[in-house]
Amino acid sequence: MTQELDTLYQEIILDHYKNPLYQGLREPFEAEVHHVNPTCGDEVTLRVHLDDVDGVLSVRDVSYDSVGCSISQASASVLADLVIGKPVTEAMAIHAEFLTLMQGKGTVQPDEDVLEDGIAFAGVARFPARVKCALLSWMAWKDATAQSQQGSTHGG
Amino acid sequence: MTTQTTTTGLLPGLLPELEVIRADFPILERTLAGGLPLVYLDSANTSQKPQCVIDAMVDHLEHHNANVARAMHQLGAESSEAFEAARDRVAAFIKAPSRDEVIFTKNASEALNLVANTLMWATGDLALGKGDEVVITEMEHHSNIVPWQLLTQRTGATLRWFGLTEEGRLDLSNIDDLITERTKVVSLTWVSNMLGTINPVAEIAARAHEVGALVVVDASQAVPQLPVDVVASGADVLVFTGHKVVGPTGIGVLWGKREVLDQLPPFLGGGEMIETVRMERSTYAGIPHKFEAGTPPIVEAVGLGAAVDYLDHVGMDAIHAHEQAITGYALQGLATVPGLRVLGPLDVTGRGGAISFELDGVHPHDIAQVLDSRGVAVRAGHHCARPAHARFGVQSSTRMSSYLYTTPGEIDALVEALAYTRSYFKVG
């Protein structure tokens, strides 16, 4: 059974859990969202800062404050590491790829070139009760990014 | 798996024929992934079902199925008789003065919502408005919080709360400030689903009755493990759910004093709850049917009747003693796990069989996952009691909960699995 458990708790996940990247709430930001997982009580407050980089709208920063299990905490760390510095369109593609992996019930082969450390979550997809843990911060990021884009449109 | 056979003699209060009891519950024989035996410590969430309950429901569906009180044929008569016999059995089980005071609902949540909603529409003494107060406690399940929030928000009344002591008991030091002439309803849990605390319901009810308040008791965790006499409890209304008393899901019970139920207006409108229906207006049936619109949970009632018969046969005093013995043993075992903090009373006196705890360095979800990989089923999260968790400064907890089929060996398995969890997450 330890083997089964190890597919869920990959070393990469435990590393991100113990030493999360980009943790904490920072300025500047265009949107801040608060997402909760009502069944377990996990929560994340997440901020997104978008900016033009060489004429391309890009993710300049993702900062967050969260309480939750190892899967949800590690997932926020991996998310921030993956999308910071990327054009928004590319970050959204990564988001879509991660969502497909998590909703694949363990049948989807992850693409390491796209998801990097995110491939460690392939095992989580086999535990239906934990998929929502892995997706909490990703859904928050998508929401905040959409709000940031609306904000930047309004702001000119 | 280790069983109680080696330790029975050491633990006074254990059910003497625990192996026989366990054999009544077929699910306890199953194994989990990897061939591991099931260690089911989630009975406060839902209890397992004995064969007699399963058989009663199958027999009803196979041989007596028909709608109740509407079908003018032999099957209809048999089904109606089985349904109403279940009401008699439940009434006897909780010592209700009248069978008509036992209303079948969908679950305890629906029963509490029925009371809160009908109070919103009530006239006369029971009506609520600005300046009136409803008093609940910080240890309530969400189903005994949200209906009262809705009621007070909608009527302009004020919601007030009993606080908790560090030990996880109700803080009654300000009872005379909380329960006053303005109090219209006092609603509280008899046994906390998170902290395990058994509350002094009769004492609080006596104070509430001095000021003329209605006393509502959530007995969802009490009826499974304590001998219950609804009149002695002090409640005016008492609710519980079927699936926690070895019965099926889909059925709950609302008991209320006749004078209260008669005074409350109808809840859901529909078939069965009427006397006559005319286009201009309808008149309503008396209790219990007044509150049972539509086709009721018939086979579930049959199952619940068999369930309370089963518990009666084992004996609620014996079940309570067993829970106390197991809970005491579990509290001792959990105390040996480094970094573990129990949320709730550490003394087995005045507490029930649910024990929530924190483990330093490991999130409850992760604890539950590792325990599950060892075959140990517990619950992790806020257990629908967020205010109580907030009171103790935690977001969630892990909860083990025992029942009449739980063995000391299963508690040993939990304690071992917690030690394994610590080593897996490299804490300590």
Asked whether the beta carbons of residue B365 and residue A40 sit closer than 8 angstroms, the reply is yes
| Chain B residues within 8 A of A73 when measuring between CB atoms | 363
Asked whether the beta carbons of residue A41 and residue B365 sit closer than 8 angstroms, the reply is no
Per-residue confidence (pLDDT) for residue A41, from 0 to 100? 80
Per-residue confidence (pLDDT) for residue B4, from 0 to 100? 43
Q: Domain B4-43+316-424: which topology?
A: Aspartate Aminotransferase, domain 1 (3.90.1150)
| Chain A residues within 8 A of B36 when measuring between CB atoms | 1
Asked whether the beta carbons of residue A40 and residue B381 sit closer than 8 angstroms, the reply is yes
The second-level CATH assignment, the architecture, of B67-312 is 3-Layer(aba) Sandwich (3.40)
Per-residue confidence (pLDDT) for residue B272, from 0 to 100? 84
Per-residue confidence (pLDDT) for residue A133, from 0 to 100? 93
Per-residue confidence (pLDDT) for residue B2, from 0 to 100? 45
Q: How far apart are CA B413 and CA B397, in angstroms?
A: 19
**3-class DSSP state of A40:** coil
Q: Find the chain A residues whose C-beta atoms sit closer than 8 A to any C-beta of B.
A: 1-2, 4-5, 8-9, 14, 39-43, 67-71, 73, 127, 130, 133
> Which of A138, A139, A152, A156 lies closest to A30, judged by CA?
A152
- Provide the chain B residues 10-39 that lie in CB contact (below 8 A) with chain A: 33-34, 36
- Those residues of chain B that have pLDDT short of 50 are 1-8
For A67, the closest of B36, B370, B395 (CB atoms) is B395
Whole-Å CA distances, B426 to A18, A77, B375, B381:
11, 20, 21, 22
> Which of B228, B248, B163, B224 lies closest to B353, judged by CA?
B224
pLDDT digits (tens, 9 = 90+) for A6-23: 889 999 999 999 999 999
Give the chain B residue nearest A67 (alpha carbons).
B395
Q: How far is A58 from chain B (nearest CA, A)?
A: 34
pLDDT digits (tens, 9 = 90+) for A49-108: 999 999 999 999 999 999 999 999 999 999 999 999 999 999 999 999 999 999 998 888
Percentage of residues in chain A having pLDDT higher than 90: 80
Enumerate the CATH 3.90.1150.10 domain ranges in chain B, comma separated: 4-43+316-424
Q: Is B384 a catalytic residue?
A: yes
Pairing of strands B252-256, B274-277: unpaired
Enumerate the CATH 3.40.640.10 domain ranges in chain B, comma separated: 67-312
